A and B are shown apart, each in its own frame.
Chain A
Amino acid sequence: MEIDRLDGRKANQLRPLACSRNILNRAHGSASWTQGDTKVLVAVYGPKAGTKKNENPEKACIEVIWKPKSGQIGKLEREYEMIVKRTLQSICILNINPNTTTSVIVQVINDDGAVSFTLLPCAINAACAALVDAGIPLKHLAVAICCCLADSGYIILDPTKLEEQSMKAYAYLVFPNSILSVRPEGSLKVQGEPMEHGVITSGTQGAMSVDDYLNCLERGRAATAKMSTVLRRNLQPQIAGDLSKAG
């Protein structure tokens, strides 16, 4: 089904992506992620000694601090903090630095939406790049995307603020980055599906049918596969540089 988008994109086309790392001097790791008009800056400090109360000291602890573009933090930001925290926990290898805390500070620089669902995926992508920059041990990367469902049932990816307002439902989805494997059989398979098809984080708003949701999953997977190559390409040359410095 063809649909005209306000900015002339195709339904599956994302806004221009940009990611830069190591932009803050004092932070142990930092990254900014730009997707169209949405821009998020993330700094990572740590691992620092000791965990907070109510956290398991046998594992590394991650704390996420969300700073909105303006104003006080409310329930929405608290929810974002929790989602980013749980998502990062699932991609980090927490057994390597037990009894430490890693602080992830997410600063929204520009936000292209009021009830913006594109903001959270953007922040997760940025946080992921910042963790790589800080050298925190990760199992794999995570790639996040926002899908929108219009009234007539078509799905568009990575909506802008204007598009968001006329949609009936949204979903944000986080998938693992595909793992480049040296094994001959290629990527890992779980239950007959490649590993990168598993959902790390999912959230929805608005009502949709279950089939529509599964459709969103499918589209999201296809788009994140491309995004993960972009992310990987962005991270690789700098990693090589880091290694030569270290060696």
Chain B
Amino acid sequence: MGLPDAPGDLSSEVDVDAFRRLFPLRFYERHLTESIRPDGRPLGRARDTTIALGAVASAEGSALAKIGSTTMLAAIKMEVMTPSMDSPDEGCIAIDFHMPPICSPIVRPGRPAEIAPVVSKQLSDTISRHVIIFSVSGMINLKELSLVSGKAAWMAYLDIYCLDADGALFDAALLSAVAAFSHLQIPAVSLNDDGKIVVVSEENGGKLEKDAVNKERMKLTLKSIPFSLTCVLHKNYILADPTAEEESIMETVVTVVLDSSSQLVSLYKPGGPVLAYTSAIQDCVALTRQRMKELQKILDEANSGMEVD
């Protein structure tokens, strides 16, 4: 007696839940032939997405992004630093992505998750593309972070915490990062008598006005905002915005990042058993275009909601 060679025959007898656990791939394929997924979504639809701005009161900019149950908390802290010699009139952005043990059963305390540095690297590639000489295409103009050329500039520490890892981690992390930057208010600072930069507090803001470096709290201008969509490829099917379960069962993942001017920022496919042909790549890009419009709308709504308050 070997393994049952036709698991399909069992499906009429065993409980759906047991079937799902025993033959996860068969379970999914059954759904896919009906063009639906176990959570009731059509193949090309992403999960419900929400953004809450200003989730961390102590940070200069913060956002909580949720895609389905994947939850990311992003916060930006601003610090004054001396700019490097190579770029005296530019600020700097440091991006870090954390996966604490709270987010997933796979992550054990004391042992960092394998995927965390990879997501972190991808995020910094996407957000600070200006590492390459041609800075025109980057999301943030680092010159805006400069205070006094060669003397002082802003250092933005962006930290993203994954609170719940249920698939499409990069999408949620990027969305929370973008939202945090759109919420960011750079504090007003001024030069004091010792030539040091001090943050102007609300009360005595008027006194130091003659030395003010930037007089008001200001916002960064974000150009060409990147949005991403992760898809899972399985046979000829393309599943947008996979859950953690879908990612673990069907291993081929493609992440497409497009910016608001419809340029391809990244097309990332790290291996996987399914080969991506031109048609599949074009389909993924088309799905991302659609998703970009949704995300742009959600982000705009979140921002306009803040202005009313």
Contact = CB atoms under 8 A, between A and B. Distances in A.
Given A82-B114, A203-B270, A204-B266, A217 B278 contact: yes
A165 B134 CA distance: 10
Nearest to A94: B273
Best-buried of B129, B266, B275, B282 by chain A (most CB within 10 Å): B275
Given A168-B134, A198-B276, A207 B263 contact: yes
A70 B262 CA distance: 39
Given A86-B271, A168-B134, A207-B137, A79 B117 contact: yes
Interface stretch (A15-23, A25-33, A189-197): A189-197
A75 B106 contact: no
Interface residues of B, number: 39
A76 to B, nearest CB: 6
Contacts, number: 119
A200 interface: yes
Given A82-B114, A115-B132, A210-B285, A199 B266 contact: no
5 smallest CB-CB distances across A and B, nearest first, come from A198-B275, A86-B271, A78-B117, A207-B263, A87-B271
A83 B117 contact: no
B125 A205 contact: yes
Interface in A14-61: 54
Interface of B: 106, 114-115, 117-118, 120-122, 124-125, 129, 131-134, 137, 224, 236, 259, 262-273, 275-279, 281-282, 285
B118 to A, nearest CB: 5
B271 A201 contact: yes
A214 interface: yes
A152 interface: no
Interface residues of A, number: 45
Contact of A78 (B118, B125, B265): B118
A179 interface: no
B118 A199 contact: no
Contacts of B120: 75
Contacts of B270: 82-83, 86-87, 201, 203
A210 to B, nearest CB: 5
Best-buried of B131, B132, B265 by chain A (most CB within 10 Å): B132
A193 B277 contact: yes
